């Protein structure tokens, strides 16, 4: 690739050509500064009005903020400059002028509503702290994939256009597929199981999932990124070990590789890698502990799903990530296996962050007859899922897995208020573009 000097790489003593966005112009009278910004940081461009070519000064100081300019000149040390160096321009080219009326101020001096930010993501992402979120998001995905490979997993891609939903016909977006009815997949669940039943054995996928949920809350998206694992010859405890491994790997990678980003977010002091194994509470213990907090108006009884306030009370009580295991079978979907010695008790588990649920997983039902029964109990027609169930007749090993919400992981790690801050272009009931 052609050589390019980033603003942060311009070294005193050199002549440099740097290109970037006009971050700010500070006019002090006889002297004025243009602060040029690119991916690497900022550099100060000095204009001494009386000593410089008039046209050059006019071009450099007349340009509107957020325009793209290219500056060539000598780089000198200047301790008072934000980065310790400044450039005295010999040439200034306006590569792409910006409309002076910006819908959003990337210098961050004026706060913007989230919807304005999302409508103008290009400008929004010119803010250091917004960019930092997405640099960290990318690092999380890198670290998670590396950790999956350390667990001997193979990356897979499963289809997003499907004939049936994972859990039946609700919450699905319908598609017209060459005249046939189809859906956007709400989870790779059934497909990853089909692969775990082959020689590949352990698989992971990071990809989009689509849910036509009516919720419009700060923690729901209609298109999200799911981080999925499935492993043959694994049980729910193995799957929890993998959860713990990948979530911890994400934190560790941020600590190791994202100190600038943490600083941009003001998190350099409070960021902490979880340093202990995540406690594994049974559902029964969980409701007991929730009841003991006294935070709920009504005591929970065995069989209840956990209300949001209950999760919150328990999260405050535990103070970090924790698993809830051994859920009542009724609450969990058909593909989750029950305990062999107690059919009322499933092997399903959730990983909770004090703020919200991150993961849902469990050992899967691998026995053909039991699987068919499960479909029927859930009111689903097993014939519609024959493409899936028939493979269970040909030696389907015991297997377990989970799905981890990618945006929820980013959101909880960085303490973001709204899950939409963890996605470049969120999709919700109101938002379909950009």
| 26 contributes a contact to a second copy by CB under 8 A | no
Angle CA(388)–CA(393)–CA(397) in degrees, nearest 5? 90
Rounded (10°) angle between helices 236-257 and 406-414: 50
Judged by CB under 8 A, the chain residues 94 through 113 that form the site for a second copy are: 95-99, 102-103
| Sheet strand arrangement including 154-155 | 154-155, 202-210, 223-232, 399-405, 356-363, 349-353, 322-325, 280-282
| 340 contributes a contact to a second copy by CB under 8 A | no
3-state secondary structure of 270: coil
Which of 357, 367, 373, 427 is the catalytic position? 357
360 catalytically annotated: yes
Residue among 165 and 333 whose Cβ is closer to a second copy: 165
Residue among 104 and 287 whose Cβ is closer to a second copy: 104
Rounded to an integer, what is the distance from CA 249 to the centroid of its chain?
A: 14
End-to-end Cα spacing for the chain: 30
80 catalytically annotated: no
**Which of 27, 19, 24, 10 is CA-nearest to residue 76?**
10
Please state the closest distance from residue 398 (CB atom) to a second copy, in A.
7
Judged by CB under 8 A, the chain residues 403 through 422 that form the site for a second copy are: none
Residue among 90 and 135 whose Cβ is closer to a second copy: 135
| 367 contributes a contact to a second copy by CB under 8 A | yes
| 126 contributes a contact to a second copy by CB under 8 A | yes
280 catalytically annotated: no
| 22 contributes a contact to a second copy by CB under 8 A | yes
**Which of 219, 205, 222, 114 is CA-nearest to residue 156?**
205
Judged by CB under 8 A, the chain residues 193 through 232 that form the site for a second copy are: 194-195, 197-202, 207-208, 210, 212, 222-223, 225, 232
Per the CB < 8 A criterion, the answer to whether 299 and 153 are in contact is no
Judged by CB under 8 A, the chain residues 376 through 395 that form the site for a second copy are: 387-388, 390-391, 393-395
78 catalytically annotated: no
Q: Which residues pair with 274 in a beta bridge?
A: none
Please state the closest distance from residue 390 (CB atom) to a second copy, in A.
8
Measured distance CA(53)–CA(376) in Å, rounded: 82
Measured distance CA(425)–CA(434) in Å, rounded: 6
Tokens of 196: 């775990």
Measured distance CA(168)–CA(213) in Å, rounded: 14
| 173 contributes a contact to a second copy by CB under 8 A | yes
Residue 214's φ and ψ, nearest 5 degrees, are -80, -20
| 21 contributes a contact to a second copy by CB under 8 A | yes
Q: Of the listed pieces 171-179, 297-305, 315-323, 331-339, which binds a second copy according to CB under 8 A?
A: 171-179
213 catalytically annotated: yes
| 366 contributes a contact to a second copy by CB under 8 A | yes
Residue among 270 and 433 whose Cβ is closer to a second copy: 433
23 catalytically annotated: no
Measured distance CA(190)–CA(203) in Å, rounded: 13
Residue among 55 and 176 whose Cβ is closer to a second copy: 176
| 8 contributes a contact to a second copy by CB under 8 A | no
77 catalytically annotated: no
Which of 202, 219, 366, 399 is the catalytic position? 219
> Which residues are annotated as catalytic?
211, 213, 219-220, 357, 360, 408
């Amino acid at each position: 690739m052609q050589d390019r000097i980033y603003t942060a790489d311009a070294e005193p003593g050199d002549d440099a050509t740097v290109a970037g966005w006009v971050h700010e112009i500070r006019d002090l009278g006889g002297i004025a500064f243009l602060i040029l910004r690119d991916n690497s940081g900022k550099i100060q461009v000095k204009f001494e009005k009386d000593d410089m070519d008039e046209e050059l000064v006019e071009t450099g100081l007349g340009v509107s903020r957020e325009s793209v300019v290219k500056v060539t000149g000598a780089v000198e040390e200047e301790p008072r400059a934000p980065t310790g160096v400044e450039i005295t321009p010999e040439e200034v080219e306006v590569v792409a002028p910006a409309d002076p009326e910006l819908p959003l101020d990337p210098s961050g001096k004026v706060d913007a509503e989230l919807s304005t930010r999302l409508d103008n993501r290009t400008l929004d992402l010119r803010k250091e702290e917004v960019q930092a979120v997405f640099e960290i998001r990318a690092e999380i995905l890198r670290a998670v994939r590396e950790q999956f490979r350390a667990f001997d997993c193979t990356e897979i891609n499963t289809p997003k256009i499907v004939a049936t939903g994972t859990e039946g016909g609700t919450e699905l977006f319908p598609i017209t597929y060459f005249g046939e009815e189809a859906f956007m997949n709400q989870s790779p669940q059934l497909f990853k199981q089909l692969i775990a039943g082959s020689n590949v054995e352990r698989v992971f996928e990071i990809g989009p999932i689509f849910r036509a949920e009516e919720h419009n809350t700060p923690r729901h998206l209609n298109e999200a990124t799911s981080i999925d694992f499935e492993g043959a010859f694994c049980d729910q405890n193995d799957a929890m070990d993998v959860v713990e491994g990948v979530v911890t790997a994400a934190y560790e990678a941020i600590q190791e590789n994202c100190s600038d980003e943490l600083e941009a977010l003001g998190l350099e002091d409070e960021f902490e890698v979880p340093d202990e194994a995540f406690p594994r509470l049974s559902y029964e213990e969980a409701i007991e502990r929730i009841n003991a907090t006294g935070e709920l108006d009504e005591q929970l009884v065995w069989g209840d799903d956990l209300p949001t306030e209950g999760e919150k009370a328990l999260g405050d009580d535990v103070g970090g990530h924790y698993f809830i295991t051994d859920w009542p079978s009724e609450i969990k979907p058909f593909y989750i296996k029950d305990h062999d010695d107690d059919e009322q008790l499933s092997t399903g588990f959730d990983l909770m962050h004090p703020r919200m649920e991150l993961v849902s997983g469990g050992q899967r039902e691998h026995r053909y007859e039991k699987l068919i029964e499960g479909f029927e109990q859930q009111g689903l027609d097993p014939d519609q899922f024959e493409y899936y169930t028939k493979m269970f007749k040909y030696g389907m090993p015991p297997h377990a897995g989970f799905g981890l919400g990618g945006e929820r992981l980013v959101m909880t790690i960085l303490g973001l208020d709204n899950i939409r801050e963890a996605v470049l272009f969120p999709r919700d009931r109101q938002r379909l573009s950009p």
